[in-house]
Amino acid sequence: MGARSVRLAMWLNVLLLATCAAAQRPGSISGTVLDERGSPVAVAQVRVDTLDGRPKASAVLMVETDKNGHFIMNNLDLTDYKVFAMKEAAGYPNTAASFYSNNAFPTVTLTAGAPEVEVTLRVGPPAGIMSGIVKDAVTGAPVSASVLLRRTSDPDKWISMSQKAEYRVLLPPSVDVCVEVSAPGYKTWFYGGTSDTLKRSPIQLESSKEMKLDIQLEPEDKPEKQP
Amino acid sequence: MDAETGWRLPGSDSFWGGWSNFSRSAIIARVCLFAWAKTKTATIFTGIPAGAADLFPRTMFQSEVAVSNFSTKPAQVSVTLARTIAGKTSTELVQKLVLAGQSSGTVKIPAHGDPAMTNSLVVRSNLSPGDVVSQFIAWGDIGVRTVEMQAKDNDSVQNGGGHPWTIARGTNSTLLLFNHSTDGPKKFEVLVGNGKQLWEGSYQLAPMETKAVKINEIVEKQIPDAKGTVLSKDLLTGQVAWWTHRAAWGKGRLMVSQPETGMARSFSCGNCSELCYYIDLSPDSSASFGVFGFGTLGDASTQQCLGECGTCSGTPQGPVSEFFTWRSSNTSIATPSSGQHSSMATFQGVSPGLANGNVVAQDSGCTARGTGPITVTPMITSIAPNPIMIGSTNQTLTIEGSGFGTSPTAILPAGFTSSGQGSTPNQIVLTGVSVAYSATVGNNNVTVTANGPPSPAATLVVDGPYHMIVESDSTFTCSGCATTVQRNVTYQVQNFSGANAGTTWVGESGSDGASSCTPNTLPTETACSQNFQTLATGVFTDEWTLNSDAYKPAGCGFTVNYDHWQWCQHSAAQTLGTLMGYIHTDKIEINGVVSPNHMPTGTVVPF
């Protein structure tokens, strides 16, 4: 075999390896989700997001934990990841939002030397829960609305969520939060029971504390008809 | 040819006769070439002047009938005057006489006729046709000197006429109709129009009744016809047609007169109004139905044609009611089940194939025919299982119906295969049925053929991932970001049936515009090759964000031209929903909804 043939064979090997790498990424993250008491959390969602700062317009990589709180996420590129665990039904919110994470979240680095990493993700303590029904103040009809939550101490940390008329939102425990509820055709409602922004007040709920509050939205004033 | 001027009238097969003194003021009678009708049993003169006449207010007419016997035998002749005054009809035997062979005589007509000229004469004789000939003459005392009028044979085959009319410059046009039958009232149909407008009248005349239809009044007094149609007031000329449904029922003529000039013209050349030879079928000119099913043909409609006698054709004058008879050209394909003698017939399918529904109507020697094609097809009444899941294999598909015969062929949608078939005339059982991932999710068509036209399509639903709906929509500052926003929309992939699609392999195919940010990095997409699966509930979350505060200036970003989310397992990567909008550092638009507003839960993402 001549030198030319050897170089060709090596090049073909490189191509073959590259093809295999594209078909199956080598990285994986596995581990367990534990609550504030150290108990495993079943059916929690574990999401990862790259730390490369690249724009996203793609599906969130997500798996669910088993009954023992275990999860494994395969087929990952070798890079740095933010890792989030959530189970909203149990009061553990989506910490991909800085409103909930307060920019404190675990990271994982996958490298060629360590393509498989095992982590323990802790959630909790559970958030406070604010729930109720959003209604038309005049007709009493239920209204689907948007709920905006904002940390009073750090207004850049906010989240706006679509909600059905029977709403349920999670509030970080022991944190002052401004709550705004809005819907097309209605005046924005501020916690404190007012549509006057100057009269709004923050709400703070302890962990696992649930507050029931029905919200009545005033229809917007219709402009008077011109003669 | 006009006897006075030598003018030839266009379209006329007659000439114009004049009065003995050739006066300009004389009434001019239009005399057809066969005007000296040879009587068989009777000669008819319709609408004669006898005494005063409204059309010539200052003129009194004295009328006379001249009768000639050309045979060598004596002829017994009677002259009867039929008058209709104020709606009442009476007859008066004016005179009976015996004419010796090859002699002539005259009979004076009493001058007490109706001024509206609703007077008619009947001259009867006992001799053979052609032996006795009669002629009517009337003399006016002022203005109009003499009037001649053509005779009409009682048994003429002609049962209608068509004439030009005018009411311009003070002219009167009056249609005179006479029922000379003796066996009861007869219906006369009258059409007045100009080719664009049509007024339809129908008159019932008692035996020996004469009717004057004044076109001037119809136009000037805006008299509506039975359908409410009125002729426009500026209509001055046109055509009038009349007919009875049988010859020997009636006669008619059009009198066009102008009292100021003493002019009058009589149009009385006859036509035949016969059943047109064709039958129209509308709206159901054809029928297609299944074996044992029913379909209709009709309404059958016939027309009365005014034209040459015996041709059963000519100018259609309007619809006429007839007795219809429907038959099938092939009773092994379809048979009439009801309405065989009405305008609308119902046929029932016997076996798949093509046949004709033929309808016939007959009237006075004319036969009208119509045909409507009939298609009898197999019928599918049910398919099971339905829906059937895409990707399923080794299924048994049962098609129930009728008319499948002994060796039917089931035409299945693309992507379907089967390995075996059994059938009866009412059922097809396909075994080893597989639905490939190339099949179309949604409604598909199945047809059956059985040595003939195919059945109507029956719907077979192929179920599988079909579209995606919004479960939740939230916008927030991303973790690790101070100001940059992130929008997470959670979708559920649903089957065509509406159930969640379960774990589904999805990916996206998109196109982004250039970024206005520094750096101008664009996002990667979740391609099908990444083998991304939704959760077991069919749910996945799509995140749109610049994902870092590093992109400057604030508010920069890029457009998402389109982002097709697709079901990757389908061989043609079927699109479940398409997103469009933009991703900026401070706000994100998806399908027209700009953050922090949200797409409502349950929103179906358009394809």
pLDDT computed for residue B452 by the predictor: 85
A192 vs A138, higher pLDDT: A138
Question: In the predicted model, what is the mean pLDDT of residues A181-197?
Answer: 89
Q: Name every chain A residue with its beta carbon within 8 A of the beta carbon of B552.
A: none
Structure-block tokens of residue B8: 């030839």
pLDDT of residue B501: 97
What pLDDT, on a 0 to 100 scale, did the predictor assign at position A224? 60
- Which range is least confidently modeled, B9-23, B240-254, B291-305, B350-364? B9-23
AA identity, residue A30? S
A interface residues, B as partner, C-beta within 8 Å: 22-23, 47, 49, 51, 53-62, 64, 75, 82, 84, 94-99, 101, 103, 105, 144, 146, 148, 156-162, 164
Q: How high is the pLDDT of residue B159?
A: 85
Indicate the pairing of strand B28-31 with strand B15-16.
antiparallel
Structural domains of chain B, with CATH: 15-153 (2.60.290.11), 280-377 (2.60.40.1080), 379-463 (2.60.40.10), 466-594 (no CATH)
Place of tokens 């509308």: B282
Mean pLDDT confidence for B517-526:
93
CA atoms within 13 A of residue B36's CA, in its CB half-sphere: 10
- What confidence tens digit (pLDDT) does each residue in B456-502 have? 999 999 999 999 999 999 999 988 898 999 999 999 999 999 999 99
Those residues with Cβ within 8 angstroms of residue B111's Cβ, 6 or more apart along the chain or in another chain: B50, B51, B60, B61, B62, B63
Q: How far apart are the first and last CA of chain B?
A: 81
List pLDDT tens digits, range B550-589: 999 999 999 999 999 999 999 888 999 999 999 999 999 9
**Are residues A59 and B543, on separate chains, in Cβ contact within 8 Å?**
yes
Contacts of A82 in chain B (CB under 8 A): 479-480
Residue B5 or residue A214, greater confidence: A214
- Residues B430, B397: Cα–Cα separation, whole Å: 5
Give the Cα separation of B203 and B190 in Å (integer). 8
Residue B170 per-residue DSSP state: G
Q: Calculate mean pLDDT across residues B434-443.
A: 97
Which among A96, A144, A156 has the least Cβ separation from residue B479?
A: A96
Q: pLDDT for A68-122, tens place per residue?
A: 999 999 989 999 999 999 999 999 999 989 999 998 899 999 999 999 999 999 9
pLDDT in tens, A34-50: 999 999 999 999 999 99
Chain B residues whose beta carbon lies within 8 Å of the beta carbon of residue A57: 510, 512, 523, 525, 542-544, 560, 563, 583
Question: Rounded mean pLDDT of A188-204?
Answer: 87
Domain ranges of chain A: 25-122, 128-217
**Cβ B543–A161 below 8 Å, yes or no?**
no
Which whole number is the average pLDDT over B382-401? 97
Q: In this complex, do A58 and B542 lie within 8 Å of one another by their Cβ atoms?
A: yes
Q: Which residue has the higher pLDDT, B285 or B305?
A: B285
- pLDDT tier, A20 (very low <50, low <70, confident <90, very high otherwise): very low
Taking domain A25-122, whether its CATH number is 2.60.40.10 is answered by yes
Strands (E), B130-179: 132-140, 146-149, 152-153, 160-166, 172-179
Percentage, residues of chain B above pLDDT 70: 93
CATH 1.10.760.10 assigned to domain A128-217? The reply is no
Residue B40's pLDDT is: 53
- pLDDT > 60? residue B36: no
pLDDT value, residue B23: 30
* Whether pLDDT at B247 is above 90: no
pLDDT of A123 above 70: yes
* Contact criterion met (CB < 8 Å) for B474 and A161: yes
CA distance A105 to chain B (A): 8
A169: nearest CA partner in chain B: B474
* A131-178 confidence digits (pLDDT tens): 999 999 999 999 999 999 999 999 999 999 999 899 999 999 999 999
CA of B455: how far to CAs of B352, B376, B504, B537, in Å?
9, 8, 36, 40
Partners of residue B530 in chain A, C-beta under 8 Å? 75
Gap between the Cα atoms of A221 and A223, Å rounded: 6
Cis ω before B596 (30° cut-off from 0): yes
**B24 versus A17: which is more confidently predicted?**
A17
Lowest mean pLDDT among A189-203, B1-15, B232-246: B1-15
Interface mutation target, options B476, B483, B489, chain A, most CBs of A under 10 Å: B476
Asked if residue A57 has pLDDT above 50, the reply is yes
Q: Please judge whether A57 and B532 are an interchain contact, meaning their C-beta atoms are less than 8 angstroms apart.
A: no
Which residues of chain A form beta strands (DSSP E)?
27-34, 45-50, 56-59, 61-64, 70-76, 80-86, 107-109, 116-122, 128-136, 145-151, 158-163, 166-171, 177-182, 189-190, 210-212, 215-217
pTM, two decimals, is 0.64
Distance from CA of B467 to the nearest CA of A (A): 16
| DSSP code per residue over B449-475 | ESSSSPPPPEEEEEESEEEEEEEEEEE
pLDDT recorded at residue A223: 63
- A64: pLDDT strictly greater than 80: yes
Q: Contacts of residue B537 in chain A, CB cutoff 8 Å?
A: none
Specify the pLDDT at position B130: 79
Residue A22 has pLDDT above 70, yes or no: no
Give the residue on A whose Cα is nearest the Cα of B579: A57
Shortest distance, CA B572 to any CA of chain A (angstroms): 20
- B606 to B503, B559, B569, B579: CA distances (angstroms): 21, 19, 20, 8
What local confidence, expressed as pLDDT, does residue B267 receive? 82
Q: Do domains A25-122 and A128-217 have the same CATH topology?
A: yes
> Residue B136 pLDDT > 80, yes or no?
yes
pLDDT of residue B257: 87
Which residues lie below 8 Å from residue A95, measured CB to CB, with a gap of 6+? Answer: A84, A85, A86, A101, A105, B479
Side by side, the strands of the sheet bearing B324-328 are: B287-290, B366-377, B353-363, B324-328
pLDDT exceeds 60 at position B225: yes
To the nearest whole Å, the CA of A73 is away from the closest chain B CA by 11
- The b-or-e profile of B230-249 (16+ CB within 10 A means b, else e) is ebeeebeebbbbbbbbebbb
Q: Assign B260 a pLDDT band (cuts: 50, 70, 90).
A: confident
Q: Which of B470, B471, B474 should we substitute to test contact with A (largest number of A Cβ atoms within 10 Å)?
A: B474
B542-551 pLDDT per residue, tens: 999 999 999 9
Nearest C-alpha neighbor of B439 from the set B418, B413, B417:
B413
Contacts B491 to A, Cβ<8 Å: none
ipTM of the complex: 0.84
Range from A120-124, B16-20, B322-326, B433-437 carrying the lowest mean pLDDT: B16-20
Chain mean position to CA B199: 20
The mean per-residue pLDDT over the stretch B267-288 comes to: 90
| Region B73-101 average pLDDT | 94
Show the 3-state SS of A117-170.
Answer: EEEEEECCCCCEEEEEEEEECCCCCECCEEEEEEECCCCCCEEEEEECCEEEEE
Which of residues B118 and B268 earns the better pLDDT score? B118
Confidence of residue B317 (pLDDT cuts 50, 70, 90): confident
pLDDT of residue A23: 53
**Residue A225 CB partners (closer than 8 Å, separation 6+):** none
What percent of chain B is predicted at pLDDT more than 90? 70
Cβ A57–B542 below 8 Å, yes or no? yes
As beta bridge partners, residue B107 has: B65
